[in-house]
Amino acid sequence: MRVTFATEAAPGRPNEDFVGATPEAAVLLDGAGTPPGSDAGCSHGVAWYSRTLGSTLLAAMTQSAGTLAQLLGEGIKTVASMHDGTCDLSHPGSPSATVVMLRQANQAVEWLVLADSVLVLDTGPQPMVICDDREAQVGALHRAEMDALPSGTPEHTAAHRRYVETLRSYRNRDGGFWVAAADPHAADQALTGSLPADKVHAAALLSDGASRPVDRFALATWRQTLDMLAHDGPNALIRQVREAERSDPQGARWPRGKAFDDATAAYCIP
């Protein structure tokens, strides 16, 4: 499998995404940032969590024949054991991340998606798009106040913090949404599947910062995004994201929690 990828932090912030690949596998994580003024219960931080879980998963995907869900569950347990003696992993704001895993094995392409990062499989004129939208469904019930305020204002910052803290009460429970955090059972809630390798022409792994041109800004289709990745590479997609974000810094056209978000994209050809 040939893989190209790019990642870029939101301006002025550490990058809380992770992306990595081997000839057989690719993994992307999007860490759930902690808004200023909110407690997280962990001294290590979201970027550490994404990097540590991501590298653990990538190693396991190339060394183990277990299912992707099994590997994710074991990876979550492994990382939890690294800091459960120093951090409060029962805290609702403890570090968490979305996960996309892709592996080519035995003439098949296997995939796993947990939370709202996106996997796009180029299987023909209409790509196959896999995204776990449970967080978005919950969030839609609580984001009206935040979306009505201009990004960058103290009022929007406070509303975003309240929004994130409200969603924490729905995290990793039935009727809410599931992310990788400290509970390995979250892996059982992931979307998984496989296709014959000869049916998949290419695949794109996208953090929700990189998928914005399609699913938030409606500036492109998934087909157009795959074509851009094929011809111009992941950096071109990130440039498109930044141009759109800079054109609407206060969120007047596209209301959103973060005016700028970490953006990460991987493009794979089996």
Residue-wise pLDDT tens digits, 238-248: 999 999 999 99
Strand residues in the chain grouped as ranges (E) = 2-8, 17-21, 25-31, 97-105, 108-114, 118-122, 128-131, 191-196, 202-206, 263-269
Angle of helix 68-83 relative to helix 46-63, nearest 10 degrees, comes to: 140
**How many Å from the N-terminal Cα to the C-terminal Cα in the chain?**
4
Q: Which CATH architecture has domain 2-133+177-245+262-269?
A: 4-Layer Sandwich (3.60)
Residue-wise pLDDT tens digits, 140-185: 999 999 999 999 999 999 999 999 999 999 999 999 999 999 999 9
Report the 10 Å Cβ neighbour count for 65: 8
Q: Give the pLDDT of residue 106.
A: 87
Q: Give the pLDDT of residue 42.
A: 87
Residues in the chain predicted with pLDDT less than 70, given as ranges, are none
Q: Give the pLDDT of residue 199.
A: 96
Q: Give the pLDDT of residue 228.
A: 98
Q: Give the pLDDT of residue 93.
A: 85
CB 53 within 8 A of CB 97: yes
- Domains of the chain by residue range: 2-133+177-245+262-269
* Residue count of the chain: 270
Q: Give the pLDDT of residue 65.
A: 85
Residue 39 to residue 29: CA distance in whole angstroms? 22
* Bridge partners, residue 191, by sequence: 113
